[in-house]
């Protein structure tokens, strides 16, 4: 029952995706365990979700965002190894949209969380949307990312955002936490 709930919430995370002819939610095609009640799901559009089936906590990646996240794994892993040896560690990486990866030496987790910026003070703040992985689950997630390269070869054809100019990048909602708005 909990597994079905996780699959249903996958389609509710970001704007609902439907086919133009049937109006049905996008279906999950792959499920990879990363420890306990936590799994990585891949849907038919190659979007990825890390979900805890018990608590409902989750992190959502578009296909492009997942590719960008995988490209950042070596840097994240360096921070995790540093934190595991009790060295001062503070890593905050933007992986696309409003999603960030955080590693600190205070809490032994890799935090994948959506952030927002209030207009009042221009300070980035975390939201409840996201999931914190233990280091063991992080290691399992790295293995899943490698497995996905072989089991899902379509991910090799997906690239992160590409822009023809710096101006395009400044207005991109995927590349910037607070993209510039065109005013008239």
CA–CA–CA angle 11, 74, 104 (5° rounding): 80
Asked if residue 163 is part of any domain, the answer here is: no
Asked if residue 104 is part of any domain, the answer here is: yes
Averaged pLDDT score across all residues of the chain: 79
How many distinct structural domains can be found in the chain?
A: 1
CA–CA–CA angle 121, 127, 132 (5° rounding): 135
Write the CATH number for 51: 2.30.31.10
Asked if residue 177 is part of any domain, the answer here is: no
The boundaries of the domain holding residue 115 are 2-154
Asked if residue 184 is part of any domain, the answer here is: no
Q: Write down the pLDDT at residue 122.
A: 73
Asked if residue 124 is part of any domain, the answer here is: yes
Asked if residue 159 is part of any domain, the answer here is: no
| Chain segment 71-106, per-residue pLDDT in tens | 899 999 999 999 999 899 999 888 888 899 999 989
Verdict on whether the full-model pTM lies above 0.95: no
Q: Write down the pLDDT at residue 5.
A: 39
Low-confidence ranges of the chain (pLDDT < 50): 1-23, 179-180, 182-184
Asked if residue 83 is part of any domain, the answer here is: yes
Q: Write down the pLDDT at residue 26.
A: 64
Asked if residue 183 is part of any domain, the answer here is: no
């Amino acid at each position: 029952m909990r597994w079905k709930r996780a699959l249903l919430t996958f389609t509710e995370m970001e704007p609902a995706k439907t086919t133009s002819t049937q109006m049905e939610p996008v279906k999950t095609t792959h499920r990879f365990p990363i420890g306990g009640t936590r799994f990585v799901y891949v849907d038919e559009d190659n979007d990825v979700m890390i979900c805890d089936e018990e608590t409902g906590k989750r992190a959502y990646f578009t296909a492009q965002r997942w590719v960008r996240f995988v490209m950042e794994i070596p840097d994240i892993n360096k921070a995790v190894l540093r934190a595991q040896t009790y060295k001062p560690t503070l890593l905050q990486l933007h992986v696309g949209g409003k999603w960030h990866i955080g590693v600190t030496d205070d809490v032994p987790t890799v935090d994948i969380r959506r952030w927002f910026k209030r207009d009042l003070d221009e300070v980035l703040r975390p939201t409840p949307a996201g999931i914190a992985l233990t280091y063991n689950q992080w290691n399992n997630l790295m293995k899943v990312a490698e497995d996905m390269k072989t089991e899902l070869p379509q991910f090799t054809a997906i690239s992160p955002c590409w822009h023809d100019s710096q101006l395009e990048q400044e207005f991109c909602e995927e590349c910037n936490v607070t993209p510039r708005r065109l005013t008239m």
